[in-house]
């Protein structure tokens, strides 16, 4: 455990900070200002309800299309409990533990601004779960991404009141038993608290944070692996000349070209005379293709950071101006569009990577077909390219935008939804797919470079080759290859590319 991370409403929460907090497993704490804001808003709401019976959505009324049904004061706590229970309708696979931890952090962050009316004890319990490693069992399917991520957040927050299930130190427990382990009493929900916990975008936002951070790493990996393939293919350096990119100055294109130039400095292979006048697009257009994806991921990162610093439940409470406003801050459209864009951008990294793999095994430029001795007797790297092609095709299918779909729910009250949760889970699958495709390219590029010896590539690229060879040996003749593919994907995910 390392230094704690303090949730402070005046501190901008960026992706770099989140990545460090998650990596260090830093404990979380509410700042004094956040605690004061939460207390002030909760007190305001309590006093407001004691003084007036005017209808306020979800506090003294029903939910969704039942918003015109009045709820008596004595039933308002039960209303919130009923909301939590009835909305826990998740299904499908379980959300990975690292994403559940992130959901807990992001939900506490959103509530810490003091516009939600919850008790401080409720926010503290979310932090207690995070700090103690008590992770609610949350399911991937069930959210429309409109009134927030209702079903996933119901599963996330049910354990606060002693219901649902959690994972703790590798064991699956009933939430009530987990609370008993720490002598914690279930939270007694007060007016609006169930609504504040369930409304919000923290399911799709956790996926967005996670996939954006991983997409950034894949961008770095794609440049390095693409440079290795260029070297193995005996490719030319001219397409990365700064003069070309100054006259089409997209930021991502400029950055990618600069990165590739830096990676090639000191390469013996680049000093050799080139026989080909031009290289295929998958090599020559890396700055334009990788760069476009880099720009897209940068845009997505901006959307994600805005959402990390936002209040996304409903209604929202403004004690200073004596107002409770019902709106639509829980609607996931900003994230849905961004996550669809992210998936497309990352899928393109895989698409161009598979093409480079195809060129490497094609028997051109002095390389043997399928990068193996005695092709025919040996199939060599033939089938890894098939695997890459299959994965790239699946990623294309997964890139059908979720955000263009909407299905009416709640008797027409919720008549336009974002489907952002589907965009989120699809984006993660595309991230995983592209990591594997880049791993297959790396496997082929390093194999091809071995066939170019004794000529060597640049010192930074040789360092990558050496690290990869410690995980995957040279293939002199056919062997069972799936362990190599799995190791290559793991290498892409874990290696320190930047």
**Strand runs (DSSP E) across 20-90, as ranges?**
28-30
Q: Are 445 and 228 in contact (CB under 8 A)?
A: yes
270 sits in which H/E element: helix 268-271
Whole-angstrom Cα distance, residue 435 to residue 350? Answer: 8
The number of helix segments (H) and strand segments (E) in the chain equals 19, 9
Dist. CA 144–CA 151, nearest whole Å = 9
DSSP state of 237: S
What H or E segment, with its residue span, contains residue 5? strand 5-7
Backbone angles phi, psi at 96, to 5 degrees: -55, 145
Kindly report the CA angle at 52 between 50 and 55, in degrees rounded to 5? 115
Burial of 6 (0-12, 13-18, 19+ CB in 10 A): middle
Please pick, among 57, 113, 130, 139, the residue that the annotation labels catalytic: 57
| Known active-site residue 57 | yes
The DSSP line for 298-322 is: HHHHHHHHHHHTS---SSEEEGGGT
State the DSSP code for 123. Answer: H
Query: Among residues 204, 217, 154, 185, which one has the least CA distance to residue 439?
Result: 217
Give the pair of three-digit tokens for residue 329. 């801050």
CB 70 within 8 A of CB 79: no
Which residues does residue 28 pair with via DSSP β-bridges, in sequence order?
5
Residue bearing tokens 């293919």: 233
Q: How far apart are CA 452 and CA 267, in angstroms?
A: 12
| Residues with catalytic function | 57
């Amino acid at each position: 455990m390392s230094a704690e991370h303090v949730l402070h409403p005046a501190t901008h929460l960026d992706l770099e900070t989140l990545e460090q907090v998650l990596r260090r497993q830093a404990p979380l704490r509410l700042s004094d200002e956040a605690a004061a804001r939460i207390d002030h808003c909760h007190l305001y709401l309590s006093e407001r309800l004691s003084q007036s019976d005017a209808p306020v959505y979800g506090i003294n009324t029903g939910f969704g299309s039942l918003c015109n049904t009045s709820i008596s004061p004595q039933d308002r706590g039960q209303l919130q409990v009923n909301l939590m229970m009835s909305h826990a309708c998740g299904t499908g696979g379980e959300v990975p533990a690292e994403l559940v931890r992130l959901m807990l952090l992001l939900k506490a962050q959103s509530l810490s601004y003091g516009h939600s009316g919850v008790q401080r004890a409720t926010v503290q319990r979310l932090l207690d779960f995070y700090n103690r490693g008590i992770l609610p069992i949350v399911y991937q399917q069930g959210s429309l991404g409109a009134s927030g991520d209702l079903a996933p957040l119901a599963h996330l927050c049910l354990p606060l009141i002693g219901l649902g299930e959690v994972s703790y130190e590798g064991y699956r427990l009933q939430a009530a038993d987990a609370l008993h382990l720490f002598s914690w009493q279930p939270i007694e929900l007060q007016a609006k608290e169930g609504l504040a916990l369930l409304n919000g975008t923290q399911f799709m936002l956790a996926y967005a944070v996670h996939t954006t951070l991983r997409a950034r790493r894949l961008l770095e990996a794609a440049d390095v692996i693409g440079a290795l393939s260029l070297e193995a293919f005996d490719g030319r350096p001219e397409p990365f000349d700064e003069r070309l990119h100054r006259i089409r100055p997209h930021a991502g294109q400029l950055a990618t070209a600069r990165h590739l130039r830096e990676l090639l400095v000191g390469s013996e292979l680049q000093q050799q005379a080139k026989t080909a006048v031009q290289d295929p697009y998958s090599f020559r257009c890396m700055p334009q293709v990788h760069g476009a994806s880099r720009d897209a991921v940068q845009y997505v990162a901006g959307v994600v950071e805005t959402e990390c610093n936002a209040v996304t439940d409903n209604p929202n409470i403004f004690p200073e101006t004596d107002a409770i406003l019902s709106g639509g801050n829980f609607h996931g459209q900003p994230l849905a569009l961004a996550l669809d864009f992210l998936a497309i951008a990352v899928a393109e990294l895989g698409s161009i990577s598979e093409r480079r793999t195809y060129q490497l095994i094609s028997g051109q430029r002095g390389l043997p077909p399928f990068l193996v001795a005695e092709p025919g007797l040996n199939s060599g790297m033939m089938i890894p390219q098939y695997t890459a092609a299959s994965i790239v095709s699946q990623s294309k299918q997964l890139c059908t935008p979720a955000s263009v779909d909407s299905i009416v729910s709640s008797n027409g009250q919720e008549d336009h939804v974002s489907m952002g949760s589907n965009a989120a889970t699809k984006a993660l699958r595309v991230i995983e797919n592209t990591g594997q495709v880049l791993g297959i390219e790396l496997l082929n590029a390093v194999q091809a470079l071995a066939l170019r010896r004794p000529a060597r590539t640049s010192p930074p690229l040789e360092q990558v080759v050496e690290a990869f060879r410690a995980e995957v040996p040279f293939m002199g003749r056919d062997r069972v290859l799936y362990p190599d593919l799995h190791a290559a994907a793991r290498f892409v995910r874990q290696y320190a590319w930047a």
